[in-house]
Amino acid sequence: MINNLIAMDKAKVVALGILAAVVLWIGSGMLFRGEKPAAGSPAASTTGQAETATTVRIVRSIAEPFQSGVILQGRTVASRSVELRAEVSGRIEKILIERGQPVKQGQEILLIAVNDRAARLAQAKASLTQRDMQAEGARQLAKQSFQSQVKLAEAEAQLAQAKADVSRFELDLANTRIKAPFDGVMDSRLVDEGALLNSGDRIGTVVDLDPIKISAQLSERNVGDAKTGLTAKVVLTDGSTLDGRVNYIASVSDPNTRTFTIEVLVPNPNGKVLSGLAAQLRLPFGQNTAHRISPSVMTLSDEGKIGVKSVDDENKVKFWPVEILDDGPDGAWVSGLPDQLNLIVVGQEYVALGQKVAPVMAEKTN
């Protein structure tokens, strides 16, 4: 009995010991969790870095007077382009104009074999003479009441048919001579001498390069400022500058890009400006204000829009989409910004929209 009591007391002592150890272990964990890392320790260093704002350099950019306008990227296009097609069937008898050669309106480009078309025309003319005489006789008889009005009507109908036949055969004969529709250049030729053509077959293309047309796309923001007749300046890739006038502005925007087609005509008497060249189109609209900035400060938004970043009064980053009005050795003129702003000039690529930064004022160099 005594041994049993002693065994029970030992079990209680062990249990109480285990409980005390658990309480001490939990208490020590809570104690250490509440401690802060000592100054200079790695943990303290990491925490300090997380709280340090990214440094960016800014300049105070102020809008300046500017001859407003817009710069568009476009291409040169032939003012007229016509695809020549055969209107009669036959074999090509002779080619008179080669590719790249200039042509005058009405100049023959190639000849299709006449075959029996001349003979059919001669026959149609002879038939016309006969029908004309028959109709005249019928008219005289009808006046004297020797012939009914029905017979007269038949004679007149036969005469009209004979005239139509002559016109048709004359047209067929004329269509064997393919002619230039206007002054221009024989840009392409798809057939060779001796080839057999069917009516409707493609022959080649004649283009008119004088005047040359520059086509570009105008944004919704600027379409209201552009007017037909407005003087425009065109800059080609070789640096040459041309003067032209706005000839056309689309009334309906492109459903995909929401832009409006604009076309400028430029005199090109020697045909030196070819079709398909890249061209910069500059349209002046009037006096306005704009910011002059270095192109290096411009960046892209997540949506791919060109713009700049600035710092607001709370030192947070803002993005401003801009439109380039002009560019040159002294910088780019842009619109779309407030009259004054703290423009980020260094570090704009490393900060995000809404991020808090540490701005450092720099001297504006342009």
Tens of pLDDT, residues 288-322: 889 999 999 999 998 999 999 999 999 999 999 99
What is the model's pTM?
0.59
pLDDT of 356 over the 60 cut: yes
| pLDDT above 90: percentage of residues in the chain | 69
- Classify domain 86-204 at the CATH topology level: OB fold (Dihydrolipoamide Acetyltransferase, E2P) (2.40.50)
pLDDT digit string, tens, across residues 216-245: 999 998 899 899 999 999 999 999 999 999
Residue 273's pLDDT is 96
In this prediction, residue 291 carries a pLDDT of: 94
The average pLDDT across 179-194 equals: 96
- How do residues 245-296 score in pLDDT, each as one tens digit? 999 999 999 999 999 999 999 999 989 999 999 999 999 887 788 999 999 9
Q: What CATH number does the domain located at 54-65+289-361 have?
A: 2.40.420.20
What topology does CATH give the domain 71-78+208-287?
Answer: Elongation Factor Tu (Ef-tu); domain 3 (2.40.30)
CATH 2.40.50.100 residue ranges for the chain:
86-204
Residue ranges with strand state E in the chain: 54-62, 64-85, 90-95, 102-103, 108-112, 177-179, 184-189, 196-197, 202-218, 231-236, 241-249, 260-266, 278-293, 299-300, 306-311, 317-321, 323-328, 331-335, 340-346, 357-361
Instruction: Judge whether 210 and 185 are in contact, CB under 8 Å.
Output: no
